[in-house]
């Protein structure tokens, strides 16, 4: 390679856009759109809980050096404002859920917003569009590549959405009930027609009340719900206790708020559905 070409290649590699994504699911979406044009730092990694996170000085440094910071928004990352402030970051903080119709609900007398919008693949399309627009604004020279990558990835999301719907058509209406440890599947349930119940609310920050757990056990018994699911990023204790109290069994592990480590059963946003949907289907059909 001629020295001039080599120098140009280096300059191009050096010019990779530094971006930060708050948690692993969003990071996978950002990676799919940004490709080789970005240098990506993920704050809450595989199997991590994005509701409760204590950033380190290394995280603050990554934020300080970023050209764009991507968050889910809708209240998922309660720790992010402080991190941005302490890092002295002045760039854009882009909420991937911009344009999502939020699920707003009552929880223990409070109005809460459900942040788990990625569990509806229809919302995944919006995440991709928001990420592509923000990357193009930060790096206009590569905007064409971001647009093309977003189109390819959106087609894969659409195909997965159709697959999920097809997989679940076999489940009769009366059996479409699933128990998890926290309320992470509200958007999934609304999109694909399943009721999800959980002893914990839309955040893992608060412990469930004993009265709430007892109420759920009564409901499980009266409605014949015999299977509960672990979530990869939550403690298994709550689900084990619930299963014991209600005479139910544990159906497996759903990936809710975080991906698996690379090589695991849900190491991408789309593979999360590959892991979760067959388990949900089998549990509901076996009820």
Which residues here bind Zn ion, judged by CB under 5 A?
184, 257
For residues 184 and 73, give the distance between their C-alpha atoms in angstroms, rounded to a whole number. Answer: 15
Q: Output 146 or 255, the one with its CB closest to Zn ion.
A: 255
Q: In the bound complex, what is the minimum distance in angstroms from residue 109's beta carbon to Zn ion?
A: 20
Q: Which is nearer to Zn ion, 171 or 194 (CB)?
A: 194
Nearer to Zn ion, 32 or 203 (CB): 203
Least Å distance, CB 114 to Zn ion, is: 9
For the bound state, the minimum distance from the C-beta of residue 247 to Zn ion, rounded and expressed in Å, comes to: 27
Report how far residue 74's alpha carbon sits from residue 100's, in angstroms, rounded to the nearest whole number.
Answer: 9
User: Nearest approach, Cβ of 132 to Zn ion (angstroms)?
Assistant: 25
Cα–Cα dist 72/65, whole Å: 20
Q: Which is nearer to Zn ion, 87 or 95 (CB)?
A: 95
Q: Does residue 263 come out as left (phi exceeding 0), alpha (psi in the -120 to 50 range) or beta?
A: left
**Residue pointed to by tokens 């946003």:** 269
Of the two residues 67 and 121, which places its CB atom closer to Zn ion in the complex? 121
In the bound state with Zn ion, the residue whose beta carbon lies nearer, of 39 and 257, is 257
Q: How far is the CB of 182 from Zn ion (least distance, A)?
A: 5
Nearest approach, Cβ of residue 222 and Zn ion (Å): 27
């Amino acid at each position: 390679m001629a020295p001039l070409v080599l120098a140009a290649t280096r300059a191009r590699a050096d010019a990779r856009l530094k971006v930060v994504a708050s948690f692993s699911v969003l990071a996978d979406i950002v990676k799919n759109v940004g490709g080789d044009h970005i240098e990506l730092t993920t704050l809450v990694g595989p199997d991590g809980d994005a509701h409760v996170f204590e950033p380190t000085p290394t995280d603050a440094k990554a934020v300080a050096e970023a050209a764009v910071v991507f968050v889910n928004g809708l209240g998922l990352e309660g720790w992010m404002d402080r991190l941005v402030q302490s890092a002295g970051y002045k760039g854009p903080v882009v909420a991937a859920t911009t344009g999502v119709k939020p699920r707003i609900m009552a929880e223990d007398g409070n109005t809460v917003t459900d942040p788990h919008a990625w569990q509806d693949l229809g919302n995944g399309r919006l995440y991709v569009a928001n990420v592509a627009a923000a990357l193009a604004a930060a790096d206009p020279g590569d905007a064409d590549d971001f647009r093309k990558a977003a189109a390819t990835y959106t087609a894969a999301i659409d195909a997965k959405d159709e697959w999920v719907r097809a997989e679940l058509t076999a489940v009769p209406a009366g059996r479409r009930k699933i128990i998890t440890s926290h309320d992470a599947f509200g958007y999934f349930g609304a999109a694909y027609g399943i009721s999800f119940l959980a002893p914990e609310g839309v955040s893992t920050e608060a412990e469930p009340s004993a009265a709430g757990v007892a109420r759920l056990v009564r409901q499980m018994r009266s409605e014949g719900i015999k299977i509960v699911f672990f979530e990869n990023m939550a403690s298994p204790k709550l689900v084990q206790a619930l299963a014991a109290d209600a005479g139910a069994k544990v159906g497996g592990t759903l990936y809710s708020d975080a991906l698996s480590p690379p090589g695991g059963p849900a190491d991408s946003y789309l593979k999360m559905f590959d892991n979760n949907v067959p388990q949900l289907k089998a549990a509901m059909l076996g009820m």
